[in-house]
Amino acid sequence: MTWSIITICQDEETTIRWFLDCCITAYNKFPRNLKEVVIVDGGSKDNTTEVIKEYMNSLPLILIEHPFDSWGQQRNKALDLCTGDYIFGPDADMTWTSNLADEFDIGHFNGQDFWNLHVYYTAQDRHHYSVIDSNGASLRMWKRGPRFVTNFHERLEGQPVTPSLCQSVYLFENSLLLSEKELLNRGERLQKYQQPLIDAGAGPGSCDRYVTAQNTALKDFKKLPDNIMSIL
């Protein structure tokens, strides 16, 4: 069984490096399994694409630069270039536990077409996370074939209401480690799509959720340091 990794990005120069470091860890363990890493950049104005190009000689990496139209359509452009049996699709600001490649190699994901993974927020730095601030479970692994049919809160063709949940691999969202300026820039980009987001089911406060989440999380982290765990 083989797999491909996809993500979409825009102005992610800080977190895309952490994402690609995780890809290298997976590739170095079982290079025969990972067919390609496909990244679609929506028009970054920072150094995101330059950072990605630094990894071209270390990974089977494909970079597509295409003006952002919607989350689902950008992901479909990545899917067009995938050849692996399964697709792993984290966000560009995500990292994951180092056992993902091992779990795939032993066939953990065989037998199910769609998999949810637990998502936690990192705390203090990208090597620690908070057990009290879970971002829930999210569909991030699926058998190649389905395409995205919605533009926001992307949904795949044939996606079940409750996909199987992988209990052995964790994802970590690193957005809370960004500076206030980076978070506000992200909010401004979301503001442009505010009405389409609401029409697609997002809450009206989507655009400022990053700053709100950061302030709440940091407050909780300081109060409850025993709930900070190391990422293995």
* Domains delineated in the chain: 3-230 (3.90.550)
DSSP 8-state secondary structure symbol assigned to residue 203: -
Cα torsion for 59, 89, 112, 36, to the nearest 10°? Answer: -20
Which DSSP symbol is given to 9? E
Structure confidence at residue 217 (pLDDT): 59
- Predicted confidence at residue 114, as pLDDT, reads 96
Residue whose tokens read 């989350």? 71
pLDDT at 101: 95
Helix (H, G, I), strand (E, B) or coil at 142: strand
Q: In whole angstroms, what is the distance from residue 4 CA to residue 37 CA?
A: 6
The number of beta carbons lying within 10 Å of the beta carbon of residue 127 is 12
pLDDT for position 122: 84
pTM over 0.75: yes
pLDDT tens series, the chain, 232 aa = 899 999 999 999 999 999 999 999 999 999 999 999 999 999 998 999 999 999 999 999 999 999 988 888 999 999 999 999 999 999 999 999 999 999 989 999 988 999 999 998 887 778 877 776 566 788 999 999 999 987 766 789 999 989 999 999 999 988 877 776 676 666 666 666 655 656 655 555 555 555 555 566 565 655 556 666 777 6
Name the H helices within the chain: 15-29, 48-53, 71-79, 100-105, 180-192, 194-199, 209-223
Q: What is the torsional sign of CA 143, 76, 90, 82? A: positive
On whether the CB atoms of residues 183 and 207 are closer than 8 A, the answer is no
